[in-house]
C-alpha cells in the first residue's frame, strides 16, 4: 500500500474488471521492458513498463510474480506459469485482478514432452467473441520446435489441442484474434478462434512471391491499427548473383506489406 503512489492517479481510478474480458479496461499502451540488470522481472517481483504515447517509465512491484514465470504479455496483461503446479494465471498488473486457468502439465506431457519447450513457451490472451458483453478470455500457448498449439478458457478443467502439425513462426494478437506466420510456409493464418474444432487453419493471406521463405524472416506487427507483415532478408548482390541463404554478412533489407 505504501508504494501505490508510484502509479499514476488515472491508473488507480481504473474500473475493476475481475473477469479481464473487457479490452477497454486493459492497460493498453504499456509495454513491459527488460531493465538491463540481468535480473528476470519474475525473480525481482517487479516489472518496468513503458507507455508508448507519453514515454513514461513506471516500475510496478508485483509480489504475485513469486514462484511464477512470465510466459506472455497481451494488451498489458501478464500471463504467468506457476513453477510447481504449471497452473496458468492472467494478471492485470495495475489493478491486480487475476483469472486462473488449469495446470498445463498433463497435456504437456501427453503431446509435447520437451522440457526446453516448456521453458520457452509463448502465450497470448484472446477474446472468445467480438463483443465484450458476451465474451470471455481464452489463453493460447505454443512452443518452439513443437507443432502443437493448445488453448483453454476459465470454464474448462483442462487444455485442448487447438492445432496440430503446424510450427508457429511469429504470432500477433490483433483485435482479440491470434494470427501467425508458419515456419517453412508463405501462409499467414488465424490460430484463434479456430475455423472449427479439429479443422484446417484459416489462411488469411500469403507472403509476396518475391519473399522467399528459405532466405527471409517473417514478422507480424501492428502499427496504426493495422496488421503488417515485415520481411527481413539479405540485400541482393549488385551483380545480380543468386541469394545465399546463409550469407547475412552483407546489407539487410526490410520490407513492409
pLDDT digits 0-9 by tens, 77-86: 999 999 999 9
- How many whole angstroms separate alpha carbon 67 and alpha carbon 81? 9
Apex 73 CA angle, 19 and 207, nearest 5? 115
Mean pLDDT of the chain: 83
pLDDT at position 246 over 70: no
Q: Please state which of the ranges 88-92, 118-122, 156-160, 209-213 shows the lowest mean pLDDT.
A: 209-213
pLDDT at 24: 84
Cell of 174: 490483433
pLDDT at 242: 58
| Residue among 177, 101, 173 at smallest CA distance from 135 | 177
Mean pLDDT of the 176-196 span? 90
Using the structure block, give the residue that is written with the C-alpha cell 487447438.
162
Using the structure block, give the residue that is written with the C-alpha cell 493495422.
226
- Tell how many helices (H) and how many strands (E) occur in the chain: 4, 18
Domain extents for the chain? 23-165
Instruction: Give the whole-number percent of the chain exceeding pLDDT 70.
Output: 80
What is the pLDDT confidence band of residue 3, given thresholds at 50, 70 and 90? very low
Mean pLDDT of the 169-193 span? 92
pLDDT at 240: 57
pLDDT at position 43 over 50: yes
Count other C-beta atoms under 10 Å from residue 96's C-beta: 11
Amino acid at each position: 500500500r505504501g508504494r501505490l503512489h508510484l502509479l499514476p492517479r488515472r491508473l488507480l481510478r481504473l474500473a475493476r474488471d475481475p473477469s479481464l474480458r473487457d479490452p477497454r479496461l486493459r492497460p493498453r499502451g504499456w509495454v513491459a521492458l527488460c531493465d538491463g540488470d540481468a535480473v528476470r522481472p519474475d525473480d525481482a517481483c517487479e516489472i518496468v513498463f513503458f507507455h508508448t504515447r507519453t514515454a513514461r517509465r513506471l516500475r510496478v512491484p508485483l509480489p504475485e510474480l513469486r514462484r511464477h514465470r512470465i510466459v506472455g504479455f497481451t494488451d498489458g496483461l501478464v500471463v504467468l506459469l506457476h513453477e510447481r503446479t504449471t497452473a496458468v494465471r492472467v494478471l492485470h498488473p495495475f489493478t491486480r485482478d487475476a483469472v486462473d486457468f488449469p495446470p498445463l502439465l498433463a497435456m504437456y506431457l501427453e503431446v509435447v514432452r520437451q522440457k526446453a519447450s516448456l521453458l520457452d513457451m509463448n502465450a497470448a490472451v484472446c477474446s472468445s467473441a467480438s463483443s465484450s458483453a458476451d465474451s470471455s478470455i481464452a489463453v493460447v500457448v505454443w512452443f518452439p520446435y513443437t507443432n502443437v498449439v493448445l488453448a483453454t478458457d476459465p470454464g474448462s478443467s483442462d487444455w485442448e489441442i487447438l492445432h496440430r502439425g503446424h510450427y508457429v513462426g511469429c504470432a500477433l494478437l490483433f483485435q482479440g484474434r491470434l494470427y501467425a506466420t508458419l515456419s517453412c510456409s508463405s501462409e499467414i493464418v488465424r490460430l484463434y478462434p479456430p475455423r472449427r474444432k479439429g479443422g484446417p487453419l484459416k489462411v488469411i493471406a500469403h507472403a509476396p512471391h518475391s519473399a522467399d521463405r528459405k532466405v527471409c524472416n517473417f514478422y507480424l506487427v501492428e502499427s496504426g491499427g493495422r496488421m503488417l507483415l515485415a520481411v527481413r532478408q539479405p540485400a541482393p548482390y549488385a551483380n545480380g548473383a543468386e541469394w545465399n541463404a546463409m550469407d547475412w554478412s552483407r546489407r539487410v533489407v526490410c520490407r513492409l506489406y
